[in-house]
Amino acid sequence: MQLKDLRSRVAANIGRSSITGIDSYFNDGQRDLAKDSKKIVKASVTVADDNFTIPSNCLILKAVAYNGGELLPYPGEVLPTIYSGTPSHYMQFGSTVYVMDKATGTYTITYIPRPIDMVNDTDTPSLEDADEALIAYATWQFYQNDGNINDAAYWRSVYLEKKADWLDLDAKRNYRQIRVADRLSRWWG
């Protein structure tokens, strides 16, 4: 469904012939759905000193690996002094990721991709089969920002139902096996 069609459906939901200024709701809805998606992307990044910039299409960084070993998120909130050595941790500040200890080379990152924003009437959602969830999300956001609490609550519940349906479909499309041994090695070794 194209952006203009999504707008028309929301306009029909709120009882208007047309509506403007709601495109950001569809894009916010795509990001809300994507953050819980099972779809992941792997990419290589180059670390020249002690940091790298995540790709612009990265919504949520899930993992950083170096020489086949996964780095752990740094448990502190303040970046420590970084020495040279074998990296074991990483810390993200905005779009910059620091690795500790620093080691120049190629790292593999795993992330949830950011959906492409829709701006033109003929643009379609990046997320397959998300139209109904996006329509419900945009209708909810419209009522919420309009101050109509009762209709906003209703459309929020519709959105959450459509989101659950979409996430179920997404999980079937993007099945990922969780390897228990990898998780145990973090705890014990």
pLDDT in tens, 68-85: 899 999 988 887 777 788
Q: Distance from CA of residue 8 to its chain's centroid? A: 26
> Is the per-residue pLDDT at 157 higher than 90?
yes
Q: For residues 159 and 86, give the distance between their C-alpha atoms in angstroms, rounded to a whole number.
A: 46
The pLDDT score that the predictor gives to residue 17 is: 80
> Nearest-CA neighbor of 9 among 162, 115, 183?
162
> Nearest-CA neighbor of 64 among 99, 105, 21?
99
Q: Are 68 and 145 in contact (CB under 8 A)?
A: no
Please, what is the Cα angle at 31 between 93 and 143, to 5 degrees? 120
The pTM is what? Answer: 0.83
The pLDDT score that the predictor gives to residue 188 is: 46
Q: pLDDT per residue over 75-130, tens digit each?
A: 888 877 777 888 899 999 999 999 988 888 999 999 999 999 999 999 999 999 99
Please state whether 85 falls in left (phi above 0), alpha (psi between -120 and 50) or beta. Answer: left
The pLDDT score that the predictor gives to residue 189 is: 44
Going by their DSSP bridges, the two strands 69-73 and 89-93 should be labelled as parallel
Return the top range by mean pLDDT from 11-20, 135-144, 179-188: 135-144
The pLDDT score that the predictor gives to residue 77 is: 84
